[in-house]
Structure 1
Amino acid sequence: MVYNESFTTEEIAQLLKVSKLTVYDLIKKGELKAFRVGRQMRVDAKELENYKSRGQEVRSVQGTESSGMARQIVISGQDSSLDILARQIESKTSDLRPLRSYSGSLDSLIAMYLGKADVVSTHLLDGDTLQYNIPYIRKMLVSQSFIVIHMLQRKAGLYVAKGNPHGFQTWKDLAKQGIKLINREKGAGARVLLDEQLRINGISKNQLNGYEDIQTSHLGVASVVANGRADIGVGIEQSAKVANIDFIPLVTESYDLVMLKKEDNARLINMVLEILNSEEFKEELRSLGYGVEKTGEVLYKQ
């Protein structure tokens, strides 16, 4: 890395795989030093490397009695409900310090397998069984002992322009001629949902104009449809409302959490279960339009 280089907050967010809000919070807390060029905040490359080195030093002493430092736990996934969970954990204890990673479902599971994530969210549809998450988790964490806890239900489907000018109704409509798609990145649950529906409905990805054009969030996909640069995309209902576009609900997703069952995770698992089963947490999810009928229910243990 060239040390006379500097990065914008957006570039820092992409490099660290966190949100811009997290970057601003790090700057506000003095953990990441920034300078202003006009109206733009920038961070030197050397400062970024120093910040990452400090993080590695903290992780290397994590869990040792002599360190006296809070254990950092990485919560990986993109839904805003995970930010609520992180805040609740932080408010309940000073021994655990939640950090957020905004990776997709498959990438989050891979991070857990590699020991780089502690709480992972998934919404992965298995097209053969029409079951969410557990078929993927069992295969990817085959050598691990884990627990799967239901967090929320949410509607997923198609983003279309206001008034649905192309008359989209089902997954089969993805094959319509002259249609422009906007896709999600590899590893995202919405990308898996699209690919499974294409397979189930016998549609080749090569038929889709825009299959290789990607956005890295539900809101990003919805915004591209809203500004007319694409006719259709796949995502969740909440982002369609924000982007002021129409939404065609086609599936109800089970959005679940995964944690490894190991001795040093016992307290974390109990705390997450306590939070998810609290009425306060469920009420926050309801306010976002999510279903909470089974929130906090243990779905699977291995």
Structure 2
Amino acid sequence: MKQDSDLRNNLKSIRTRLGMSQQDLANIASVTRQTISGVESGLYAPSVAITLRLAKALGCQVEDLFWLERDLPEIEAVLAKPVPNDQQLRVSVARVGGQWIAYPLIGKDAFRQDMIPADGEGTSQIGTNKVRVRLLDDNLDTLHNTIVIAGCAPVISLWARATERWHPQLRVQYNFANSMAALHSLCRGEAHIAGMHLYDPETGEYNTPFVRDVLAGREAVLITLGVWEEGLLLKPGNPMGIRTVTDLVAGGATIVNREIGSGSRMLLEQTLQKEQIPFDAVQGFDNVLKSHQDVAQAVGLGIADAGMSTASVATAFGLGFIPLHQSRYDLVILKEYLEEAPVQQLLSTLGHRMVHSQFEILGGYDISKIGEVVAAV
């Protein structure tokens, strides 16, 4: 049969994974080696009979071997962050507020510990913030049932995995962002939920003043995920005998800091101001890292003597910890998203015992008020 330009196949990769040569497969499927070569190169579209014999010989489904390129849908999506013009992109996709949002999988955004699978590929359009995405799967239900959370709390991923276990039709996409970046992402329509832990010393309130300021009149609710201990991560055994931020300066300790907009940096600055210590008196104050994990690794590897993070992160990395403050970590959700079924299903799992157990064994979390609405703005 002549070539079909829309027909794609996975024959070579499956064959080589099984350790078969073209001749081995040809013998098992009762075809010629030239037939195998022609199919793999896309120069030959096999008959139904040959297709079935190939699938049987490889122990897989026909759909695993062959598909039609034109069957994959395309959508237009808004890019969640700027990218160079005319750049080919791997993206993940979600439906937020009635429009498709594409999240470029570039650099650290492409990884957690393993690489994140893409939902599609596309090329950024010159002069716009949009991208035409060719999806890699025709199952749009998954994308419609994707909930996007922007935040920096490592426990969000635990909550997400537990939720997907109870609601297999849901997918939770966790985009790492500091508190202010997460809030702005929510405001721009790039996330359903923003996680944050910012303290306002003027009002004595957590998060709410910042939400009112950034959302500027849009209605939202704040739901507590938990209260966590924040403080100084130290080398195991605390060899410098650090007990306060004053000790950091007195002992000539070197720190790593977090970026502007993060709750950890804001707490460090507020603590230094309270102790009347100039920022530039702290060695390493301008050495900025962008996650709790990066701070912990820097301290653990001896790159720095201390850094600001949480008790649970200290425990996970086997580090010393000096508590300085308890911060409430809230989930901020626009009211327009609250009635969406996927969001309701996700929030309902905050009361599940397994979620509580995961948080409790981490240490440093008070989840006595988990799931409570603490403010409406």
Structure 2 length-normalised TM = 0.63
**Alpha-carbon distance in 2 for matches of 1:254, 1:148:** 11
1:288 to 2:371 alignment:
no
Among candidates 263, 268, 281, match of residue 194 of structure 1: 268
When residues 25 and 230 of structure 1 are mapped into structure 2, their CA distance, relative to the original with a 3 A threshold, is closer
1:183 paired residue number: 257
Q: CA deviation at 1:207?
A: 1.4
Q: Which runs of 5+ in 1 are unaligned?
A: 33-46
Contact 1:77 1:103 in 2 (8 A): yes
Q: Tell me which structure has the larger Cα radius of gyration.
A: 2
Q: CA deviation at 1:17?
A: 2.9
When residues 5 and 55 of structure 1 are mapped into structure 2, their CA distance, relative to the original with a 3 A threshold, is closer
1:168 paired residue number: 242
1:229 paired residue number: 303
When residues 112 and 133 of structure 1 are mapped into structure 2, their CA distance, relative to the original with a 3 A threshold, is same
**Alpha-carbon distance in 1 for matches of 2:122, 2:244:** 46
Contact 1:147 1:261 in 2 (8 A): yes
Deviations 1:204-260 (A, max 9, x none): 212122111122221211221222221211001122223322111121221111100
Structure showing greater relative contact order (alpha-carbon pairs closer than 8 Å, 6 or more residues apart): 1
Helix, strand or coil at the partner of 2:148: strand
Deviations 1:33-65 (A, max 9, x none): xxxxxxxxxxxxxx6748x9465989xxx9xxx
Q: CA deviation at 1:98?
A: 2.4
When residues 93 and 261 of structure 1 are mapped into structure 2, their CA distance, relative to the original with a 3 A threshold, is same
Report the count of equivalent residues. Answer: 272
When residues 85 and 242 of structure 1 are mapped into structure 2, their CA distance, relative to the original with a 3 A threshold, is closer
Contact 1:150 1:257 in 2 (8 A): yes
1:26 paired residue number: 117
**Alpha-carbon distance in 1 for matches of 2:132, 2:85:** 19
Among candidates 65, 70, 84, match of residue 144 of structure 2: 70
**Alpha-carbon distance in 2 for matches of 1:221, 1:16:** 15
Q: Which runs of 5+ in 2 are unaligned?
A: 1-83, 91-103, 125-129
Structure 1 length-normalised TM = 0.77
2:80 paired residue number: none
When residues 219 and 264 of structure 1 are mapped into structure 2, their CA distance, relative to the original with a 3 A threshold, is closer
When residues 6 and 74 of structure 1 are mapped into structure 2, their CA distance, relative to the original with a 3 A threshold, is closer
Among candidates 147, 151, 158, match of residue 84 of structure 1: 158
Contact 2:88 2:122 in 1 (8 A): no
Helix, strand or coil at the partner of 2:330: strand
2:313 paired residue number: 239
Among candidates 4, 17, 35, match of residue 109 of structure 2: 17
Contact 2:337 2:343 in 1 (8 A): no
1:42 paired residue number: none
Contact 2:224 2:371 in 1 (8 A): yes
Contact 1:127 1:200 in 2 (8 A): no
State the 4+ residue runs in structure 1 displaced beyond 6 angstroms.
2-7
When residues 18 and 85 of structure 1 are mapped into structure 2, their CA distance, relative to the original with a 3 A threshold, is farther
Match for 2:309: what amino acid?
Answer: G
| Worse-superposed segment, 69-78 or 232-241 | 69-78
Q: CA deviation at 1:193?
A: 1.4
Report matched runs for 1:1-302 at 5 Å.
15=107, 17=109, 19-21=111-113, 24-26=115-117, 31=119, 49=123, 53=131, 70-93=144-167, 96-176=170-250, 178-262=252-336, 265-289=339-363, 290-302=365-377
